[in-house]
Amino acid sequence: MENKNRIYNIIMLVVVCVAITAVITSFCTYKYLSENGGVMYAEKNSSLEGLEETLQNFRAAFEKEYIGEIDDEAMVESAIKGYVSGLGDEYTTYYTKKEMEDLMEETEGNYVGIGIYISAYKESNEIVIIKPMEGSPAEEAGLLPGDIITKVDGVEYNGDTIDEMTNKIKGPEGTKVKVEIKRNGQTQEIEVERRKILISHIDSKIIEDNIGYISISDFEGGCAQEFEENYKNLEEQGIESLIIDIRNNGGGLVDEAIAILELITNKGSTLLITTDKNEAEEVTKSEKDPIINMPIVLLVNEYSASASEIMAGALKDNNKATLVGTTTYGKGVIQKVYPLTDGSGLKMTTNEYFTPNHNKINKIGIDPDEEIDLPEEVKHKTDITEEEDTQLQKAIEILKSGNN
C-alpha cells in the first residue's frame, strides 16, 4: 500500500511541475502570439532549468520527514504566487480560483467582507483604513479612517502583503474576523462580522447657492451610469456649478473613469495616453459631446489613485476643472486581468499612463491647483461636517467667486 501511495505522490509531483510550467508557458505564448501574430522563438530560460528535479527532491523530503499533512493543491498555488511575486511588482498578482471569484464579485459591486477602503502608506509600508463604507460592519464595529491594520486573526500584515490581508478579511457571511489596529499609538483588537456588502459608488447632494456635490468612492462596474443618473437629478434641481469629490478613491476600472470624463470634456479631447512595454503610445480621446457644461472643482488628496488620477489629469489638462486638495497618490500604471482556464487568474501591469499633456504620474502624483489640507484634528473623523472640511469650503469659495 505504501509503495502505491509513493508512486501516486511521485506522479502528483510530476503533474505539479508540469502544471506550473504549462500555466506560465501557455499564458506567455498565447499573449505573445495574440499580440504579434507570428511564431515565437526563444532561448531556453536557464532560471527554470532543474525546477522539476528540485520540486521532486523537496516532495521526497517532505514525504519522508515532514510531520504534517501535504496539500499538493495549496503548494502548487503557493509556487505560482511565489513565481509571480518574484517580479517585484506590487501590482502584479496571481489569483487562485476562489480569489478570482471574489475579485469578480467585488468588481461587479458586491462581496462578502467587513466594508473598508484601505491603502498602503508609501513611507511606512503600513496598511491604513481610508474609510469604512457607510452602514458597513466595519463602521458599526468602530473602525475609523486612519486606523493602521497590524494583524488579522493574529497574523501580521504590511503593505507588501495587502492582497493576502484582503483575502484573509473576506469569508463566509455571518462569520467573524479579528482585526488588530493601531490608533493614536495604542493597539487594540476589534471583532467584526462579515456580511454581504452592496457597494454604492456615488453619493450626491446640493450644497448652498445651487452648487451640486458628487462623491465617487471608486470606479468599479456601473459607476459611470450611476454618476450620470445622479448628475441629471442634480441638474433637474437647478444646480449651476459642481464639486466632484474623489478624495480617498483608490481607483478601479479605467473604462468607467473614461466614460465619466466623456460627460464633461469636449469631443475629440485627449483623455489618456498610455505606453506599453515597447514604449508604443496609445491615445484615448473623447468620442462624445459633453452633457456637463458648468464650472467644476475636483477634490483630491494623497489617496486619490490610479483611475482617480486619470480623471484628475484629464480634467486639469483640458481646463475643465480646478483641482483642490493635496498631491495625489502616484499610481500611474494599469493592470489587466487574464482569466486562466482553471478559473484562476493573473493580474499583470501592462501599461504606464500619462496625462493628456504627457505629464508623468507614476510615483509622482498630480499637484492640485489650490493646495490645502484638512486640519489634523478632523482628518480621521468619520462624521466630519461641511464646516470642518477645509478642502470642501475652499471649493465652495472658488465656485462662488467664479475664479475657476
How wide is the angle at C-alpha 118 spanned by C-alphas 352 and 391, nearest 5°?
85
Question: Could you tell me if residue 207 is inside a domain?
Answer: yes
Structure confidence at residue 269 (pLDDT):
98
* Pair 333, 264 in one domain: yes
Structure confidence at residue 382 (pLDDT):
63
Structure confidence at residue 55 (pLDDT):
85
Question: pTM here?
Answer: 0.74
- Determine the 3-state secondary structure of 219 from DSSP: strand
Task: Give the residue among 66, 49, 51, 41 at the shortest CA–CA distance from 19.
Answer: 51
Amino acid at 124: S
Name residues whose C-beta falls within 8 Å of residue 191's C-beta, 6 or more positions apart in sequence: 141, 176, 177, 178, 179
Q: What is the CA radius of gyration of the chain?
A: 24
Structure confidence at residue 33 (pLDDT):
36
Structure confidence at residue 47 (pLDDT):
61
Question: Could you tell me if residue 217 is inside a domain?
Answer: yes
* Pair 73, 193 in one domain: no
* Pair 125, 270 in one domain: no
Structure confidence at residue 110 (pLDDT):
61
Per-10-residue mean pLDDT of the chain, 404 residues long, equals 40 42 42 39 51 86 92 89 90 90 72 85 84 87 92 93 87 94 93 86 91 94 94 97 95 95 98 96 97 98 94 98 97 93 93 97 97 87 85 96 77
Q: Give CA–CA dist 177/326, Å, rounded.
A: 34
Structure confidence at residue 198 (pLDDT):
74
Structure confidence at residue 45 (pLDDT):
44
Structure confidence at residue 51 (pLDDT):
80
Asked which of 197, 226, 257 is the last residue of a domain, the reply is: 197
* Pair 258, 116 in one domain: no
All three cell numbers of 121, joined, read 502608506
Structure confidence at residue 404 (pLDDT):
67
* Pair 43, 82 in one domain: yes
Structure confidence at residue 145 (pLDDT):
84
Structure confidence at residue 362 (pLDDT):
96
Q: Which residues are the active-site residues? A: 306, 317, 331
Count of CB atoms situated within 10 Å of the CB of 291:
12
Q: Give CA–CA dist 399/297, Å, rounded.
A: 7
Say if residues 188 and 181 touch (Cβ distance below 8 Å): yes
* Pair 206, 193 in one domain: no
Question: Could you tell me if residue 92 is inside a domain?
Answer: no
* Pair 225, 331 in one domain: yes
Structure confidence at residue 265 (pLDDT):
98
